[in-house]
Amino acid sequence: MYVYILTNPTKTVLYIGVTNDLTRRLYKHSSGRGEAGKFTGRYQTDLLVYFEVCPDAKQAIAREKQLKGWTRSKKDALITAFNPDWQPIDFETWAG
């Protein structure tokens, strides 16, 4: 299971989600770009800047809720520690 954070090109919006298949989920986010009815489409948040692996769904959901409760500055610090330049991560080739 994965907990992940997406941002938009201007890095003004963050989206936090959980999935068991990050590649598939990222594809769905990018294919929905511009769809006003969806948060990620409306705000064009399809750039992966952070992710972490959780051992099971229960822990992933708990972590997602925890991160959603954080302040923006705390989320920014987490992303910066993991991905200092906030470069979009290609999950398939990322080496960490």
DSSP codes of every residue in 10-71? TS--EEEEEES-HHHHHHHHHHTTT-TTSHHHHTT--EEEEEEE-SSHHHHHHHHHHHHTS-
Asked whether residue 34 carries a pLDDT value surpassing 60, the answer given is no
Asked whether residue 33 carries a pLDDT value surpassing 80, the answer given is no
**Hey, what domains does the chain have and what are their CATH numbers?**
2-82 (3.40.1440.10)
Strand order in the sheet with 2-7: 14-19, 2-7, 47-53
pLDDT in tens, 44-75: 888 999 999 999 999 999 999 999 999 999 99
Q: What is the mean pLDDT of the chain?
A: 90
Residue type at position 36: A
